[in-house]
């Protein structure tokens, strides 16, 4: 989910060849509820922004695991491993 507009997300998805719809939350209500929006620091400067966090949620809507330190290079494999372990 992103705080970007649907038009910006669509353009990004098309440029990356991403075939799935991307969720947008311009008002940041859902992002804040899932603790994916908040204070961040970069080079000693504090600002509000989106955090790299994801959740493994089952078909009943129950959060099975939160990934608060997402490593982009291995995240998909990490999630698949956790799904296998839960089954």
Domain residue spans of the chain: 1-50, 52-87
User: Over the stretch 2-25, which tens digit does the pLDDT of each residue have?
Assistant: 999 999 999 999 999 998 888 999
For 45-66, what is the mean pLDDT? 94
Q: What is residue 46's predicted lDDT score, i.e. its pLDDT?
A: 96
For 50-64, what is the mean pLDDT? 93
Please list, in sequence order, all residues whose beta carbon lies within 8 angstroms of the beta carbon of residue 23, skipping any fewer than 6 positions away: 1, 2, 9, 30
User: Over the stretch 23-47, which tens digit does the pLDDT of each residue have?
Assistant: 999 999 999 999 999 999 999 999 9
Q: Quick one: which of 31, 36, 32 has its CA closest to 52?
A: 36
Does position 69 have pLDDT exceeding 90, yes or no? no
Is-above-0.85 flag for pTM? Answer: no
* Residue 4 token pair: 């970007």
**Degrees, nearest 5: CA angle 81-75-62:** 65
Please list, in sequence order, all residues whose beta carbon lies within 8 angstroms of the beta carbon of residue 35, skipping any fewer than 6 positions away: 51, 53
């Amino acid at each position: 989910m992103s705080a970007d507009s649907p038009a910006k997300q669509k353009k990004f998805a098309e440029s990356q060849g991403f075939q799935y719809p991307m969720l947008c939350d311009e008002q940041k209500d859902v992002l804040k509820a899932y603790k994916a929006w908040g204070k961040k620091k970069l080079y000693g400067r504090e600002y509000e922004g989106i955090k790299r966090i994801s959740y493994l949620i089952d078909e009943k809507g129950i959060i099975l695991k939160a990934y608060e330190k997402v490593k982009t290079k291995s995240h998909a494999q990490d999630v698949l491993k956790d799904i296998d372990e839960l089954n």
